[in-house]
Amino acid sequence: MGIDPGVNTGIAIWNRQKKAFDQVSCMKIHVAMQLLQDQLKIVVAGALLVRLEDARQHIWFGDGAQKRIQGAGSVKRDCGIWQDFLEEKGIPYQLVPPKKNKTKVNATWFASVSGWKERTNNHARDAAMLVLNF
């Protein structure tokens, strides 16, 4: 499962058997956490790995960097909340630095490489890119 934390939390569920997405969507953090707990009930023990984009590992630079740093504070807080949640529930996870994930891809390109034809937004696609073909 890929998670792009934030006010609009991107969630993507990659099915390794089908080699396809079961879900690519965006929701509030509490809904995403419930979805994750629901997934734990239906997958084989140990078959779920969460890949969380960790904004705390982002290095800000360039024009407007100070403004972006301020806006990123809540996302960094959400990353900490997710990490605490995953550890408390004993869910295996990986923290992925933003620079290690291909982000901000457009919908047309995403559909062509992923096979996912339903509507998505940037947050959902960022989450999906964390787990595509993983």
Average pLDDT, the chain: 88
Give me the domain span that covers residue 96. 2-131
Any idea what the CATH number is for the domain that residue 47 is in? Answer: 3.30.420
Portion of the chain with pLDDT greater than 90, in percent: 70
Confidence of residue 70 (pLDDT cuts 50, 70, 90): very low
Note the pLDDT tens digit of each residue in 72-107: 567 889 999 999 999 999 999 999 998 777 888 999
In this prediction the pTM is 0.86
Q: Which of 109, 107, 108, 103 is nearest to 127 (CA)?
A: 103
The tally of domains found in the chain comes to 1
Q: Where are the alpha helices (DSSP H) in 1-134?
A: 29-42, 65-89, 107-114, 122-131
Contacts of 13 (CB under 8 A, 6+ apart): 1, 21, 22, 23, 24, 39, 131
